[in-house]
Each structure stands twice: as C-alpha cells, then as structure tokens.
Structure 1
Amino acid sequence: MTKKKIAIAGAGIGGMVTALLLQKQGFDVSIFEKEKKAGGRLSFIERDGYRIDEGPTIVLLPHLLKEVMEEAGVDERAWSLKALETLYSITFKDGKTYTKFKDKDEQLRELSRQFPGEEASFERYMKEMHERFEIGNAAFLQKSFVRGKDFWTFQNMKSLMKLKAYQSTKKLTSTFFKNKQLQEAYSLQTLYIGGNPHTAPAMYSLIPFSEHEHGIYYVEGGYASLVSVLEEELAKRDIPIYLSARVEKVAEENGKVVSIKVNGENIQVDALVWNGDYPQAANMLGDKKRYKPSSGCLLFYFGIDGIYENKNVHQFFMGENFEKHMREIFEEKKVPTDPSFYTFNPSGMDSTLAPNGKSVLYTLVPVPSGDHINWQEETAFINKMVDEIESRAFPELKKRMEWLEVKTPNDAGEKGLFMGGSFGLAPELLQSGVFRPQVKPTKLANLYATGASIHPGGGIPIVLQSARHAAHQIVKDFAHHSFTKDVNQNERLKESISSL
C-alpha cells in the first residue's frame, strides 16, 4: 500500500516533531523550510566562538517536553536538562529583590524576609493553583477542539468557571496576595508568551504556579541545541528537510489540499501541516479572520570578557510603574519610558557557550509589536537600556563588552513573525482555548497546523503539545477516512462574546 504523503511547511520545532511522530505511524513525510536553516524561533546567535540562545531560554513543563520527545522517538541520551534550585530573582526599582526557589520551605523563608505576612497567602496560592492546574491540564492542554462542540460542554464550562477565565491574570493574583509587588511577581509571566497580565485570561496564572510546582530547567548547551538533536533524528530516519524552500501556494480541490508550490515546483500531497507563523499565512490558507499579535521584544546579545558568576541565570528588573509599561506596550504602542526587563546569564553554569574565561548575556525588553516604530531611529533608547542593564544588573558591562547585537520587532517582522510579535497570537480570551486556531484551522479538510499561534499556545513544550495534537488528528483522520470540521459554532460564539 502506498504511503500517504504529508508535507510540512516550516522546520520549527513543532514541524520537526510532527514529522517524527507521523513517520513512526507510517507516513511519508517531507519538510519544507523557507529559511537557510531549521529551528524557527529556536536558534543561536553565534559569533567568534560565542553561542547564546536567540529566542526561548526558560524551560518550563519539563515533564511535557520529555514526554513528547520520547513519543517522537528521540533518544533521551541525546539531550539533557538541568534543574535550577534558584528559579530567578525579581529586583524592584526601590531596591528590593525577591527570589523564587524550587524548594517550598526556602520560598516561605524568602517571603518572611521580603514580604512578611504573605506566607499563608503563598501556601493558599499553591494549594488552589494545584487544583486549577489539574483541571486546566485535563480539560484544555491535553485536548484539541477540532469540533467546537467538544469544547462547549457542561464539564468544560464548570472547568472554565473554576479557572476563573473571565478574570485577568493580574486580577486573579490580587485575590491571593495583598502586596502590589508580589502581585506583579506572580502575574508578569504572561509576558513569556507575549501577553498583558492585565488582560490575559486567568488560566495563564498557571505559568507562575508551574515554575514552583514543576521547576525551571536549562537545556545543556542551550535551548536551541534541541534543533541539532532533532535534525540528527530526522536524518537517521530519512525524513528530508528542504532548506530555502518556501511554500508559495496551496492548491485545493473539493475542499482539500491537493498540492503545494515550492520554489515554483508543484508537489502532490495527501495532507499539509503548516508550521510557519500561522497568522502570516492565514489568508493564503483560506482563513480571513483578523488576529491580534503578541507583544514584541527588543533583544540584546552580549559577548563578555569574564563571567558574572554570582548572578542568577534568570533575573527580572522591574520599572517604577509596571502597569504603565504594560499600557505603553499594549494600548499606546509606543517606546516605553521606564521598562521592566529580563536578563539571561547562562555561562555561570555552562562553560561551552563562550571561549575560556568569557561569557554570554542576553537581555529582553518587552516592547510593542508592529512596524510603526523604526527601531533604527531609537538609538537613544537602546543606549539608555544598555546603561540600565549595566547599572542595575551587570557592573562594568560596557567596559567588559566585546560585542553587542540588537534584534528588534522590525527584524522579527522581516523574518516572517506576525506583525513583528515574538510569540505569535496574543494570549487574550478570544484568542485562547477554542477561539485560538486549532490543529485543523480552516475549512480545508486535510490542512493541519502546529506552532505558537495554534492551540494550546506558546512556549516550546506547549508547541510540542500542538505537534502531538496535529499528528494524532492526522492519524485519526486517515484511519477513519474522515475529514470533517465544525468551524461555524466557534465563530458564532466568538461574535456573541465580542458584542458583550
């Protein structure tokens, strides 16, 4: 029997893992990547013997990451995770530093030192959020909603109420903690996926809970080292990746994809998996809906003479007014006046990232997405941020700096990220859960999708979950010769909610 041919557009981690999962099930899979290298958002900045992650750095949900990689057939010995006992520190503008720990007892001692009286609040937070995580994991993370009616069940509505999805992450956090700084410390994490804590649904409060419950990890050699691990596995199993191979057009007949055009050549397919940034291609794929992008990032990459050994791997530095910073990003969409920022200092635990005695650093400043800001003209702001990073985080930074690269939302847009946003679709209520594009995102019966803009959302382990959803759905559809999709109910409900 002839194997069914599955084309995957995009060699991001979601596309590569989908290919491995499908190959195990007997499909003939090929990957077409428009760039000159695989990896998508997982990549390195490499220069003069230095190497640092360009994109994601914080490894959450390690059990999910391991689980999907194992299901895909990737040898667990080919990569390794290292747990961080100190998760990260948050330094406020008044000089107070609050550190998060994996150990619960150490965390309670830290609360006693920095926020006395909030210890019981934290214990209640962990207990209630554990219950919510179990609900959210079973009801939403582990399921896809190809048929809208699978979401709109009585049990799911009960789950949504228990998760208080109608509240914002910030609002829910304020029901646990009285101190405003502590509220910020347990709601800023929506920025990991490009969302505003003041508007992102409360289900995303599960991110800071998971940091304590499941830990934060580091992939040895850098997060992007997973790309070479996957490439080796693909090569071992004769799954081709065609680089500099853009899918330019999708041809359809009778509501199904029949071929794709790649660099001018028509290729017959039995199904297509889209792993590019979905909103960018939605119109070409027959999806006319309008989407809202995540926030953008201003990213600084440093090569340093020496190593900042007494600094945490992950650190956050808060501006004077975090709420104002969020308003400037998501509402006013302007260059922020006093932004909070995040730093990544991995060389203290990984000597392979730089020449002997040297190190790498990374700083992320949340900024608006879109192309309305010409970041080449914002040199004063960029210089101001380097001064801020030096004064608040890394002394003598400019003196010890051997090189600096800066990436902006303009660069992200040129690479094909939706409106220069770094995380795909914004994680807002009407772009979450059933309202987010699903693994079958359009009326084309054999078109599937995976990636940060696809349910269940952003973050590498969550993207791998979308890859698993896509692969499972393809196996199911071809086994039953069933390619139906219920798209109308979701849109009617979305319109009703929007009108409220």
Structure 2
Amino acid sequence: MKKRIAIIGSGFSGLSAAAYAAKAGHDVHVFEQHPQPGGRARQFTTPQGYVFDMGPSWYWMPDILESFFADFGYRTADFFELVSLDPQFDMIFGDGKMTVPEKYEHLKLLFEQTEKGAGAQLDRFMRSAKYKYETGMQEFVHKPCHNWLEFMSPAIAKGAMKLDLLTSFRRYVSRYFRHPKLRALMEFPVIFLGASPKNIPALYSLMNYGGYVLGTHYPMGGFYELVKAMHKVAESQGATFHFNHTVEEINAENGKVTSLLINGRYYEFDAVIASSDYHHTETLLQPSWRNYNEAYWQQRTFAPSSLIWYLGVTEKIPGLRHHTLFFEHALDDHIDCIYGEKRWPENPLFYCCCPSKTDPGVVPENSDNLFLLMPLAIGLYDGEATREKYLAIMLERIEKHTGISSLSSKIDYKKSYCVSDFVADYHAYGGNAYGLANTLNQTAVRKPKIRNHKIHNLFYAGQLTVPGPGVPPAIISGKIVANEVTKQPYETTV
C-alpha cells in the first residue's frame, strides 16, 4: 500500500532509497540541508574554472553501480561516459614507484617481476577473492542483518570456510606474498574500510578483485556525474527533492514517528528513512526513543577522518597520474596515529587525485586540479596552521616525485577540508569521513541496526549501518531499507 515517506539526506544511500521506494509506488520526499544532492559526494566549481569532487574519487565495483541503474531500466551510459584508467594508479615508495596497469595480465607480470612465483600466487589470490566477491556481493551484503539466521543460506553455509571471516587480512595476504611492496599494494584497498589490515577480516580481499581485476574507472565530468544520474533516476520514479531543508526534530508517540520539524514547520509521514549520520539522527529524537546511548558510540571503532586539500595549479604537473598513492613511509606508523595514539602523524601517507589528467573539462586550459587526502584520527584539533603544515609536507613530496619546483607558487586556488568541517557539514560523529570501521566486531548483525527498536516506522541507511562504508555499500544500504519499509504493514500517522 502506498505510504508517504520522508528521507533525510541525499547522499548515495538516500538517493538509492528514494529511487527504490518511489519505484515501489510510495510518495517519497527527500529533505537535504544543502542546496544540491550528494552529501559527502558534492561538487563545486571555482571562479577560475576548477571543478572539484568533494568526496569519493575511486570508481570501483562498476558492476554493482551498473546494477542500480539496471533495476530501473537504465545503463550508466545513458547518463555519463565511463572510462577505464590505464594505468590504474601509481604507488610511490621510498625507493621508487609501482605502476598498476589496467589489464590483469600485465598486473600478473608486474607481480612476477617483483617476486618470483608471485604471478601464480596472484592467480590463486584472485580466484579466492572472486569467490568472496560473488558470494559476498550476492549473498552477504544484501541482508538487512536483523539476526544471524539470515545468513543460514545454502550458498553461505557451503562456502563459509572460503569466506575467511576469522582470518585477519594482513595474515591472509602474507600467505601469498613476501615482497613488502606487493603486500602494501594488496593491503591498500582495505584502507577504504577504515581499519588496520591487522583488524579487517580476510573476507574483504573481495575489494582487491573489485578494484584490480574489474578495474579503476572514472566518469567524465567527475564522480558527481554518478550523483546527478541517481538523482535523475529517483525523480523519474516520482521522488520529490527539497533542498535547503534541514530536519530539526523527529517527534514520536506510541512507538511511531508522528512528525518531522523541518525549517520550522511540522510535516507528517507514514515512515522515515534517515540516511543522515546515524548518531546525529538519534539526537533529533528524545533520549527514550533512541536505539543507542552516547556510551555505545564512544565504544565504537570509527573509520578515519581526513585532511583534504583542493588545489588549482596554473600549469600541468609532469609525471603525475590520475591516482597516486604516496606510501614512502611505514603504513603501520600512520595507522597507529589513527587508531592507537590518535594524533597527527609525523611521517604521513597520503593520496593525490588529479582528474584533469583524464578529463580536461574540469580545469582551465593548461592547468591541473589536485585533490590531496591524508587519513586522520577522528576528534583531532585541525586549526589552519596545522592544515597548512601538512599541505607543505605533501607538496614537497609531490615536487620530489614529479620534479616540478616551487609548486606552492603555482597554486591559484586552494581550499582545505578537515575534521571540524565534516562535523559542521554532515554532523559526522567525531568528524569521521567513512563511517564505522569494518572490523569483525562491527560487521553484519553487529553494526547499528537499520530499524529503530522502539519506533516501528523509523529506519536508518548509510555508512554507519549495513552493509558499511563505501559508495557501492551505501547504494545497497538504500535498497535494503527501501525494501524493508515496503514490506512493513501500513499504518497511517493521521
């Protein structure tokens, strides 16, 4: 039966939930506090003509993203041009670099050249990773995770040992490869999951398959093209979007949401899907209606925050790829600063994205745009002097790698984004950038629940609930929750 549904937030999970709920025949209204859709994946253009994606920049698992559009009778090609990056990226070490090629056959050769026998080991690793990817993405991540009984399917039971849920990712990688550069290359993808490879289940070797085998892609015009496409799909299904609309209160009586206070006015709905920050959403409720208290959140392991710099450079930077990882220093030292000592790192690792290497339309002529990202512990003080200090460190290392001199003098636009900005713009708990870490104790049923235990018509989507952080999981999260709302018996709030 048709329901009037409110969705709070228009990040990837909110856009997905809006599209699927509207397709199911509901009257869907999305309330977004910003003037555009996308949440952390927003985009901005400077007066000089530089275009910057503010958040995600790695287009991995293209089959998962394609399946979203297929559910509505579309293809990604109906909305944007998707190109495969060749090479996929550079990884910079203290004694040189490793270039990851587009073709798997070439990647296998690279492994063999680096360590004798590693080519055959890569085949073994990827066969197992493919199984995890196909089983995980088909059987595992689409569960609402109300309880463990959902995972008693024949496919999961049959292959439980092959999923390697109880083996750490680091230990798993070390079974296959000895060379430190190969280990670093294989461990890199799980950094997106927000924890040390020592604490991530080996199940997530599926990330290696979803990235290195299926390839690294880029939508021409920027990652925001995916946001715009999903927005169009949701509207085509009948969803209505309300921008510059902030949800200020969620009011409940007798175990159900009765109204939302939005921009000073009360609105009634039959169900609410909160794709906003889970912790923040619960602060909009009276304490007695919340799923979790403050102590619960303080005990969670959060994925990192980030220091981000958006830079416009007045000339082309030689020798820089679309994606470059600067890993000249020890990964574990940086990780300990995030999860152990919780301080700014002395010898940081960082990531540089230069989309103008692929897409000349995102910069003025003869210019480059840089997106620099350095993972950080949540809750750190991020004053301007500290941000500038680390910008100087990153620029020096880019200069060393590329041979360009006085890079700072060639910058005609710069903007930083850090812990306090994630709090101000997204109400992100502790200023986290990626949600909860996908540790074993925070996987599946052990994540915050998608349904409010006390309010039957309040649901949660996004990176703080199932299936977890990342663009494809967020899109799947919206689909899961939309299905749960549709399945729920109809009860009007009127």
User: After TM superposition, is the score higher than 0.5?
Assistant: yes
- Is the CA contact 2:111–2:119 (under 8 Å) kept in the aligned structure 1? yes
| Mapping for residues 340-355 of structure 1, pairs under 5 Å | 340-355=349-364
SS at match of 1:41: helix
Identify the residue that residue 497 of structure 1 maps to in structure 2.
Answer: none
Identify the residue that residue 29 of structure 1 maps to in structure 2.
Answer: 28
Partners of 2:42 and 2:424 in 1: how far apart?
16
SS at match of 2:244: coil
Post-superposition CA distance 1:35-94 (Å, at most 9, x none)? 233210111242121102110000111111111123245564122311123221212112
Shift of 1:346: 1.3
CA distance 1:64–1:37, shift in 2 (3 Å): same
Identify the residue that residue 454 of structure 1 maps to in structure 2.
Answer: 465
- Is the CA contact 2:255–2:456 (under 8 Å) kept in the aligned structure 1? yes
Supply the AA of the counterpart residue of 2:365: N
Identify the residue that residue 372 of structure 2 maps to in structure 1.
Answer: 363
Q: Is structure 2 residue 412 aligned with structure 1 residue 413? A: no
Identify the residue that residue 472 of structure 1 maps to in structure 2.
Answer: 483
Identify the residue that residue 430 of structure 1 maps to in structure 2.
Answer: 441
TM-score by length of 2: 0.90
Identify the residue that residue 173 of structure 1 maps to in structure 2.
Answer: 173
Shift of 1:177: 0.9
Identify the residue that residue 184 of structure 1 maps to in structure 2.
Answer: 184
Partners of 2:402 and 2:419 in 1: how far apart?
24
CA distance 1:37–1:137, shift in 2 (3 Å): closer
CA distance 1:160–1:237, shift in 2 (3 Å): closer
Shift of 1:398: 2.3
Supply the AA of the counterpart residue of 1:375: G
Supply the AA of the counterpart residue of 2:196: N
Shift of 1:320: 2.3
Identify the residue that residue 484 of structure 1 maps to in structure 2.
Answer: none
The answer to which of 343-352 and 78-87 deviates more is 78-87
Identify the residue that residue 12 of structure 1 maps to in structure 2.
Answer: 11
The answer to which of 265-274 and 228-237 deviates more is 228-237
Report how many residues are paired. Answer: 478
Supply the AA of the counterpart residue of 1:81: L
Partners of 1:10 and 1:394 in 2: how far apart?
43
- Is the CA contact 2:318–2:404 (under 8 Å) kept in the aligned structure 1? no
Identify the residue that residue 384 of structure 2 maps to in structure 1.
Answer: 376
Supply the AA of the counterpart residue of 1:446: N
SS at match of 1:227: helix
- Is the CA contact 1:17–1:72 (under 8 Å) kept in the aligned structure 2? no
Q: Is structure 2 residue 291 aligned with structure 1 residue 287? A: yes
SS at match of 2:421: helix
Identify the residue that residue 314 of structure 1 maps to in structure 2.
Answer: 323
Shift of 1:193: 3.2
- Is the CA contact 1:307–1:347 (under 8 Å) kept in the aligned structure 2? no
Post-superposition CA distance 1:413-465 (Å, at most 9, x none)? 22222211100112222221111124325442222222122211121122111
Partners of 2:186 and 2:361 in 1: how far apart?
32
Partners of 1:373 and 1:305 in 2: how far apart?
31
Q: Is structure 2 residue 125 aligned with structure 1 residue 125? A: yes
Q: Which runs of 5+ in 1 are unaligned?
A: 482-500
Partners of 1:91 and 1:75 in 2: how far apart?
35
CA distance 1:44–1:336, shift in 2 (3 Å): same
| Mapping for residues 36-51 of structure 1, pairs under 5 Å | 36-47=35-46, 48-51=48-51
Shift of 1:145: 1.6
* Correspondent of 1:303 among 312, 317, 321: 312
SS at match of 1:312: coil
* Correspondent of 1:404 among 400, 414, 423: 414
CA distance 1:62–1:441, shift in 2 (3 Å): farther
SS at match of 1:470: helix
CA distance 1:393–1:293, shift in 2 (3 Å): farther
Q: Is structure 2 residue 264 aligned with structure 1 residue 260? A: no
CA distance 1:152–1:445, shift in 2 (3 Å): farther
Shift of 1:123: 1.6
Q: Which runs of 5+ in 2 are unaligned?
A: none
Identify the residue that residue 327 of structure 1 maps to in structure 2.
Answer: 336
TM-score by length of 1: 0.89
- Is the CA contact 2:318–2:402 (under 8 Å) kept in the aligned structure 1? no
- Is the CA contact 2:36–2:42 (under 8 Å) kept in the aligned structure 1? no
CA distance 1:453–1:194, shift in 2 (3 Å): same
SS at match of 2:41: coil
Shift of 1:228: 2.9
Partners of 1:137 and 1:162 in 2: how far apart?
14
Q: Is structure 2 residue 453 aligned with structure 1 residue 445? A: no
Supply the AA of the counterpart residue of 1:83: S
CA distance 1:73–1:447, shift in 2 (3 Å): farther
Identify the residue that residue 193 of structure 1 maps to in structure 2.
Answer: 193
| Mapping for residues 191-230 of structure 1, pairs under 5 Å | 191-230=191-230
Runs of 4+ in 1 over 6 A off after TM superposition: 152-155
CA distance 1:164–1:222, shift in 2 (3 Å): same
Partners of 1:330 and 1:32 in 2: how far apart?
34
Partners of 1:309 and 1:71 in 2: how far apart?
42
Shift of 1:181: 2.3
Partners of 1:469 and 1:87 in 2: how far apart?
31
SS at match of 2:192: helix
CA distance 1:239–1:128, shift in 2 (3 Å): closer
Q: Is structure 2 residue 91 aligned with structure 1 residue 82? A: no
SS at match of 1:282: helix
SS at match of 1:315: strand
Post-superposition CA distance 1:16-47 (Å, at most 9, x none)? 22112211211001011122332101112421
- Is the CA contact 1:87–1:211 (under 8 Å) kept in the aligned structure 2? no
Output the aligned Cα RMSD. 2.4
Partners of 1:153 and 1:110 in 2: how far apart?
39
Identify the residue that residue 95 of structure 2 maps to in structure 1.
Answer: 94
Shift of 1:129: 1.7
Supply the AA of the counterpart residue of 1:186: M
Post-superposition CA distance 1:369-405 (Å, at most 9, x none)? 11x3233241333322222232235723224322222
Supply the AA of the counterpart residue of 1:145: C
Partners of 1:422 and 1:171 in 2: how far apart?
27
Identify the residue that residue 496 of structure 1 maps to in structure 2.
Answer: none
Shift of 1:258: 2.4
Supply the AA of the counterpart residue of 1:178: R
Shift of 1:309: 6.0
SS at match of 2:189: helix
Identify the residue that residue 142 of structure 1 maps to in structure 2.
Answer: 142
Supply the AA of the counterpart residue of 1:323: D
SS at match of 1:150: helix
The answer to which of 61-70 and 386-395 deviates more is 386-395
Shift of 1:338: 0.8
